[in-house]
Structure 1
């Protein structure tokens, strides 16, 4: 099976060709690095060409290139030598640290540093001449110097790559936060739109159906009056919603969000639409002010419960009960469960989803469904809303 070598990088080819040509020029000019060696100047071409071939592998096979280069440079010490060969060896040593494995990047500087120290001390002890230090310094420049430079470059590249990765992760997290914020805002506006308009449109649908189905002038006029009232109120609510969506600086400022102080008007409007509603407000008149998100959620839950009762409940009493405890506000709405006697408006189930979402966003508990009582089966809506900020936001 033939050995398949990786294709050398273009830069490696350029370095190899340039280095070999420079070495050939030095050889042609008769400029050796050392004299009185066992082999002459012509033999220096062998390690020169071998090191040129090793340069082709400096990135694709850095470990193999370093082994070949080390053997070639060792052989070069027995020849007249060539400066280009030494420079190619330093480049291959550098590349072995930069492009090699993390283990090689750790071992090579330690190994070359140890060789430099041992060689310097050994030659100094053997020769007992100061020139031995110069040989040790030269060895360190050729081996340890490129390895140490490679470590610095590799660390810088890894730090740059890590910083780039962190930046990409930060950008990804920011995009995820943006998408979540947009989704949450869309869900909030969907709840607001449903809660503000659904009640009025349901009343309009029911009374318009009654006006069309009953051939009675007084009933028709009463139905049209209710339709007009709900149309005007629905239009006002839509304008408020548009005011919220508009940028600041408009001539008309959006009105404040509804609070539990507006429950009386809400109950009165439900009675106008034909519901028999009673309100049992158990809040303390002089008690602490409820947080605005709690008041808004409670108001919307009552509003949506009355809307559902108008659309789906059978004739009977609808009760709204508010109970304020030390740590929570309980909202309880019951309506007769059964087939409505009059016209019925279609429902999509978005109201129950919205009520549950409002409750869970505050860390509360929500339940809805038919319940059997002594007076018959009723549809029961119960929501517990924490009033302590420390309790809000927790998953129930």
Structure 2
């Protein structure tokens, strides 16, 4: 089966052609290096042609090119010698380190350095003259110096590539952080919109339905009063949400955020909406995030009871136990009656998210004929979860 060699790089073709033509010109002009002259100068054209052909493999097969090039250089030493052959060999030594495998990049400088030392010692023993040092220096210039240069260039290139990868990773992590921050902020705004608007609009929808369906002036007047109250409260809450969105920091709730001190008014509004609500609140001072979360959970639970609960009593219980606040809301549940107002089903999601942000636990579901919402809110980061 025929072996298909990779196509050489255009620059490598230029180097090969230039080296071959330059070497032929030097041979034609009789410009030789200090070769031994054992063979005639014509034989030097063979090593010149081989070296030029190996230049085509300097990127694709660098280690093979250096090995064969070393043999060609040794052969050239037995002729009158050609400077172009030597220059192309130095390029092969450089390319073997720059484009070779990592192991070759480490090995070639060591091997060429040891070979230069060996040549120097060999000629010192043979000639017994300090002139042998110049031979060793020439060997180092031809082999070790290009390999060492290739190692420096490769290390610089690898360092630049590593820096580029680190920059890309940093940019990717920054983009992920930005995306997570945007997602978290969108979820926060969605919870606020639901808590501030959906609850009031649900009450408005239920009482407007009652006002339209019951032909009783007193009932209509009472329903309109509840509608007006919820409209005013909803507008105030919407203005507060706009203030949150305009706040550049976005890290803290404004001072106007509702607290558990308004829990009694929230229960009275639910009673005005037709719910039979009993409040059992036993708690002391609470951290602001815990108080706000507890208020929103009770608010959403009462809204759901207004939309879904059967006839009967709704119980709201808040109890402080050690390092946590337990919030429990129960309402009658028969599992058959449909909602009295439309909803998107985001209320339970919002309650669960608020509890999770504080590191607490949240459950909601039927227990027999009762729908139970229960949230455990830690009062501190080190409290039980």
Q: 2:348 & 2:339 partners in 1: Cα distance?
A: 21
2:308–2:337 CA contact under 8 A, matched in 1: no
Post-superposition CA distance 1:201-260 (Å, at most 9, x none): 1111111111111111111111111111111111121122122223559xxx96632222
The CA deviation at 1:262 is 2.0
Sort the Cα spacing of 1:346 and 1:338 in 2 relative to 1 into closer, same or farther, 3 A: farther
Give distance in 2, aligned partners of 1:21 and 1:139. 24
Judged with a 3 Å threshold, the aligned counterparts in structure 2 of structure 1 residues 381 and 353 are, in CA distance, closer, same or farther, namely same
| TM-score (norm: length of structure 2) | 0.93
CA distance in 1, matches of 2:82, 2:187: 76
- The aligned residue for residue 384 of structure 1 is 376
Matching residue of 1:24: 24
Q: What TM-score do you get using the length of structure 1 for normalisation?
A: 0.91
- Which residue is equivalent to 1:159? 159
* 1:327-364 superposed Cα distances (whole Å, 9 cap, x missing partner): 11111111122379998113332111111111112111
**Residue of structure 1 in register with 2:178 after alignment:** 178
Shift of 1:278: 2.2
Residue-by-residue CA offset, 1:373-393 (whole Å, 9 max, x unaligned): xxxx2211110011112359x
Compared CA separation, residues 254 and 152, structure 1 to 2 (3 A): same
* Runs of 4+ residues deviating >4 angstroms: 339-343
Match of 2:329 in 1: 333
Per-residue CA deviation, residues 83-114 of structure 1 (Å, 9 max, x unaligned), is 11111101011101111111111211111111
Distance 1:74 1:46 in 2: 12
1:129-176 C-alpha deviation (Å, 9 max, x unpaired): 101111111111111111111111111111111111111112112212
Structure 2 gap segments, 5+ residues each? none
Secondary structure of residue in 1 paired with 2:163: helix
Root-mean-square deviation (CA, aligned residues, Å) is 2.1
Name the stretch that deviates more: 261-270 or 155-164: 261-270
Q: Residue 350 of structure 2: which of 350, 354, 361 is its match?
A: 354
Q: What is the aligned length? A: 382
Contact 2:323 / 2:378 at 8 angstroms: preserved in 1? yes
- Assess, with a 3 A threshold, how the Cα gap between structure 1 residues 35 and 96 changes in structure 2: closer, same or farther: closer
- Structure 1 unaligned residues grouped into runs of 5+: none
CA distance in 1, matches of 2:27, 2:338: 110
Report the CA distance shift for 1:165/1:145 in structure 2 as closer, same or farther (over 3 A): same
Match of 2:317 in 1: 321
Question: Does the CA contact (< 8 Å) of 1:331 and 1:384 recur in 2?
Answer: yes
- Counterpart of 2:205? 205
Q: 1:340 to 1:317 in 2, by over 3 A?
A: farther
Aligned with 2:308 (options 301, 306, 312): 312
Measured in 2, the distance between the counterparts of 1:150 and 1:183 equals: 49
Q: Deviations over 1:290-339 (max 9, x none)?
A: 33221221111111011111111122222211111221111111112237
Distance 1:248 1:146, change over 3 A: closer
Aligned-pair distance for 1:21? 2.2
* Structure-1 separation of matches of 2:277 and 2:78: 109
Residue of structure 2 in register with 1:14 after alignment: 14
Contact 1:314 1:339 in 2 (8 A): no
Residue aligned with 1:277, SS: strand
1:55 matches 2:42: no
User: 1:136, 1:341 → 2: CA distance?
Assistant: 100
8 A Cα contact 1:304 1:351, kept in partner: yes
* Cα distance change of structure 1 residues 85 and 296 upon mapping to structure 2, 3 Å threshold: same
CA distance in 2, matches of 1:248, 1:65: 64
Cα distance change, pair 343–161 in 1 and its aligned pair in 2 (3 A) = closer
Residue 7 of structure 1: CA displacement?
Answer: 0.7
1:3 Cα deviation (Å)?
A: 3.0
1:297 aligned partner: 293
